[in-house]
Chains A and B, each alone.
Chain A
Amino acid sequence: MRLPLWVVALGLLAAKGASGQGAPDTVMLHSVVIQAPRLSDFTSGIKMQVLDSSTMAHYRTASLGDLLRGESPVFIKNYGPGSLATASFRGSGAGHTAILWNGFNIGSPMNGQVDLSLVPAGIADQVRVQYGGAGALWGSGAVGGAVQLNDQPVFSRGLTVDAGASLGSFGDNRQQMLAEWSGAKWISSISAYRSAARNNFEYRNLELRGSPLERQQNAEFRQNGLVAATHLRINEGQQLHLHYWYQHNDRQVPATLLQAASTAEQRDASHRATAEWQRNGARANSYVRAGWFDDRLDWHGAATDSAAQNRSRTFIAEAEMRLRISSTQRIDLGVNNTWADAISDGYPNRLHQNRTAAFAAYRIGSRDQRSSAMASVRQEMVGGVPVPFTWTVGGEHAIAKVLSVKANASRLYRIPTFNDLYWVPGGDPGLLPESGYGGELGLHAKAGLSGDWAVHTEVTGFQRLMDNWIIWLPSGVYWSPRNLMNVWSRGVEARGGITWKKRRTTVKLDVMTNYVRSTNERAKSANDASVGKQLIYVPMYSGHGRITVGHGHVQASVGTDYTGYRYTSTDNLDFLPPYWLLNATVSCRIAKGRGYTADLLVQGYNLLGESYQVMLGRPMPLQSFNLGLQVHFNRPLRQPLHQE
């Protein structure tokens, strides 16, 4: 198979963009499909963390919330196993992280959020965490950062079957299976998964005298899902990519520690379908994409009158063109239209909204590939009314072979959600979009030391100022959202590692530390003692350290996570204490043969049995364990096409 030169060049660029955390461990340039997520070549100066397949292997049946908690500095507001999990990225709020599935924002138009406990990490071949605001790239909501869940299809791979199962504490059992046919011209895959857990774990009730051991009630979780994908190479220049993702969740909602017993239940069901047509020309690539999402959320409380039903639909259409104007310069132009409607017991009538955005980006790189810079702009209209004009500029430069520097600045915004605007009672159609500015500066050093040692470290400082930050407060008899806060976030993220490798043995030490200050800078009322104080549920300090020892096909790691004080009052006088968790993982390839492998994974969490709460009144389990088996089978095509 012969690929045009530019495909290889793009592939190299993508690999370069990924260099922040090391390139994926398997790079198959001979047959990789260049289906780079939108604008991924326009992220010069932006910090990007790519979670590669070896990392993802440890989270195959876990949720996206677990993945981000374990591998990134994103703080996950986790209400307990199987319960709601939302992200706080660099001190931002739950609606401030864009979650993108194959380039499409899957945030609910109703509350702007994604429940990360409902998104299986295994839904994606690759997860990319983009740090910092990227409003110009991804639109409203990408304030703290964006998480991209990407499919990475590879043509001409033959027949692949992947099957996995795991058993864990508290009745946790999960299964997943994937079958894929990958030919020279087309790929079709289907994967199905299910998981269930009783979550009847024991915890110490720290709210009661003597901290008695209690058992969690009403916390069962069930999930079923299916993903189907087809990739077609229509001809040398054209490709078509189709995705469909169905998921159904049924879970009980447990009571808090000081609440009466709960019988509440929540059901979520979603259909998500996307299509992308791609034409690769000599000087330009064109893309046309469309996505259709249909989300339902039904809530059944104890009382008959507390049932609530919600349904939202989103239709996204997008056209984009990437132009190569010279060997070092590229331009990207596109338009996006997002139509959403929703119906809810909380709305006066069926709501709908149409958003149209035009975006453009420019990238220039130096011929020696040591420097690059980009600028991107975006103008969005909501129902014909323009929202803040957004831009991002960034650049990076390799100062020396071992040291590079990155910097960017951007304008950010988040438009109010349907709930903010129209919820009855309280919603305010006159709310303004949140808007602000952010920027960061990062240094990345990577070096192979004498002999078998290698070190890398990355330190990034960031700043962000968001105005008109929306917060819901009671006003008289009911709650109402208001553009009240002005939030200043800043901090330092540091990450480093040292690796020693000799023949089949590898020893790795990884350390990550995060310092985040996110403070309200404006008084919400006359006596507000929150001015200059940290936002609630944003830990100022967090981090983790992990030692991994690998020998041949056996790998063992021990790690500890630290989460510092989280304030539970805006005057920062009430708090949840810090906690350390000790976790360990052992993975082992138990069988390997012609075209197949079988891997065993044993994981232990909170091995020291720390009693802790991430969110006030929501208990977390003491020790828990998980045993997983993953079988992979591949039969290559009879006649390999790769014969140059």
Chain B
Amino acid sequence: MLLLLAACHKDKPEPPVQGQGQTATGHGVYITNEGNFQWGNASVGWYDPATGQATEDLYAVANGTGMGDVCQSMCLHDGKAYIVLNNSAKVTVVDAETFVATATITGFSSPRYFLPVGNGKAYVTEMSGNKVRVVDLNTNTIIGSIACAGVTQELALAAGKVFITNESKLYVYVVDPATDAITDSVAVSRGGGALTSDADGMLWVACTGGGGTPATLYRIDPQTVEVANTVPIPGPRKSPWRLRANGTGDTLYLLNGGVYRLSITDAAFPSAAFIPANGRNLYGLGIDPLNGGIYVADAIDYVQRGKVYQYAANGAEVGDFLAGRIPNGFVFR
């Protein structure tokens, strides 16, 4: 019996070597790793393009504990990083360089995205609960909410107004940050999620469609609060998401299986992917505002370390590195 066991396979894993105590200094990119729902393995990594060094988990190294459950997004503001932990129902505030936690904002039901809106306030969208939360950034507490039925998603500040997409409704909502009230809305397709602004100060929204509405990119004029242009997304695959703009704001990138690229003046959606998926499971996208470098995250099977591919602005592959579990986004600094 013992002989049989001796012939067997070693089961003790060897964890990968990673930089200890590395801080996020200089120009680089944070990688938000969602982690598995209910597994508590969310993390934020850091990649320094100058040295090519990647750190998988800044938070655990700096704080000695896990960060939480499902890292949906992260936002840099005033030297701090606000990490939105969806299934931990909290926003953890850390020093953007050392990643040492300084505060925790609690009281959410299922937070998704975070946006500072001025006057020491920030808005946080929620997947459930039918409201957008108002957070006081001085006390790190929730001080109010804006009723908004449905699954609110990304936010953007433009022309003094806050635009909020809503995945389950047919509108982009407009909030006045002075009064914390919805003042207007823009009719779009269902499945609105990603939101970004371009060189002309216009907003772009990617909608997956559904319920009889088509998959479409919308260009919205924040001054008039009206749709300025639409770019229909042809089949076969119609799941546009992770819409991002480059630093100069003249080019848009999004995931739709592969990475698609279009100019803000294009009338039609490109027929072929700029960077094809090639069997990869692309889940996150980021554009370096300094040089237009493209970062694409492959979540693989969602139950192992993801991989990040780095491309030059012209689409030439530069390199790759390992990320944490389910890399879903990039925040540049």
Contacts and interface: CB of A to CB of B under 8 A. Distances in A.
Interface of A: 207-209, 256-260, 302-303, 305-306, 457, 459, 471, 473-474, 476-477, 492, 494, 496, 513, 515, 517, 524-530, 534, 536, 539-541, 564-565, 567-575, 616-617
Given A565-B12, A573-B13, A209 B65 contact: yes
A258 B65 CA distance: 10
Contacts of B278: 526
Contacts of B325: 569, 574
A457 B2 CA distance: 13
Nearest to A520: B301
Contact of A303 (B9, B12, B109, B237): B109
A302 B9 CA distance: 44
A260 B84 CA distance: 13
B307 interface: yes
B160 interface: no
A527 B298 contact: yes
A257 B39 CA distance: 9
Contacts of A306: 128
Contacts of B87: 259-260
B64 interface: yes
B303 A575 contact: no
A560 B41 CA distance: 30
Contact of A572 (B1, B13, B67, B208): B13
Nearest to A258: B40
B258 to A, nearest CB: 12
Given A260-B90, A473-B301, A525 B239 contact: no
Enumerate the 3 nearest inter-chain pairs by beta-carbon distance, A residue then B residue, closest first.
A258-B40, A260-B89, A526-B279
B280 A477 contact: no
Contact of B40 (A259, A540, A569): A259
Contacts of A207: 40, 65-66
A524 B281 CA distance: 10
A571 B305 contact: yes
B303 A570 contact: yes
A253 B66 CA distance: 22
18 contacts: A209-B63, A256-B40, A258-B40, A259-B88, A474-B302, A477-B208, A477-B241, A526-B298, A527-B307, A530-B303, A539-B11, A540-B11, A565-B11, A565-B12, A568-B303, A570-B304, A573-B14, A574-B13
Interface in B45-93: 63-69, 87-90
A575 B278 CA distance: 30
A188 B21 CA distance: 70
A513 B5 contact: yes
A477 B239 contact: yes
B304 A569 contact: yes
Given A207-B66, A256-B40, A303 B129 contact: yes
A569 B128 contact: no
Contacts of B279: 525-526
Contacts of A529: 300, 304-305
Contacts of A477: 191, 208, 239, 241
A476 B305 CA distance: 18
Contact of B304 (A259, A515, A530, A565): A530
Interface string B1-40: 1001100110111111000000000000000000000111
Contacts of A534: 11
B27 to A, nearest CB: 27
A389 B11 CA distance: 36
A303 B128 contact: yes
Contact of B69 (A258, A494, A496): A258
A515 B300 contact: no
B189 interface: no
A473 B65 contact: no
Interface hub of A260, A536, A572 (most chain B Cβ within 10 A): A260
A263 to B, nearest CB: 11
B110 interface: yes
A17 B4 CA distance: 27
Given A528-B300, A540-B9, A305 B128 contact: yes
A285 B189 CA distance: 66
Nearest to A526: B279
A96 B305 CA distance: 27
A575 B304 CA distance: 11
Q: Is the interface of B mostly helix, strand, loop or mixed?
A: loop
A574 B4 contact: no
A526 B279 CA distance: 5
Nearest to A533: B304
A571 B280 contact: no
Contacts of B40: 207, 256-259, 616-617
Nearest to B255: A476
A459 B87 CA distance: 45
Given A209-B64, A617-B38, 5 more contacts: A259-B87, A473-B301, A565-B11, A569-B304, A573-B13
A571 B298 CA distance: 14
A525 B5 contact: no
Contacts of B14: 573
Contacts of A305: 128
Contacts of A209: 63-65
A481 to B, nearest CB: 13
Given A526-B279, A526-B280, A569 B303 contact: yes
B1 A459 contact: yes
Nearest to A302: B109
Nearest to A571: B304
A525 B191 contact: no
Given A303-B129, A529-B300, A260 B88 contact: yes
A540 B128 CA distance: 40
A262 B16 CA distance: 34
Nearest to A617: B40
Nearest to B63: A209
Contact of A573 (B1, B301, B304, B307): B304
A536 B13 CA distance: 13
A562 to B, nearest CB: 12
Contacts of A536: 303
A208 B87 CA distance: 17
Contacts of B191: 477
Contact of A574 (B41, B67, B88, B110): B41
Contacts of B283: 474
B39 A568 contact: yes
Task: Select the residue from B8, B87, B279, B301 with max chain A CB neighbours within 10 A.
Answer: B301
Given A209-B65, A258-B68, A474-B302, A525 B280 contact: yes
A41 to B, nearest CB: 31
B11 A476 contact: no
Nearest to B299: A474
A574 to B, nearest CB: 7
A572 B283 CA distance: 21
Contacts of B307: 527
Residue of B5, B106, B298 ringed by the most chain A CB atoms within 10 A = B5
Given A209-B65, A540-B8, A256 B39 contact: yes
Interface in B253-281: 278-281
Contacts of A517: 8-9
Contacts of B13: 565, 567, 572-575
Contacts of A496: 1
Nearest to A511: B1
Contacts of B69: 256, 258-259, 617
Contacts of A303: 109-110, 128-129
A499 to B, nearest CB: 18
A526 B296 CA distance: 14
B110 A515 contact: no
A209 B67 CA distance: 11
Given A207-B66, A259-B69, A573 B16 contact: yes
A515 B89 CA distance: 40
A527 B280 contact: yes
Most buried by A among B8, B90, B129: B8
A568 B66 CA distance: 15
Contact of A617 (B15, B39, B109): B39
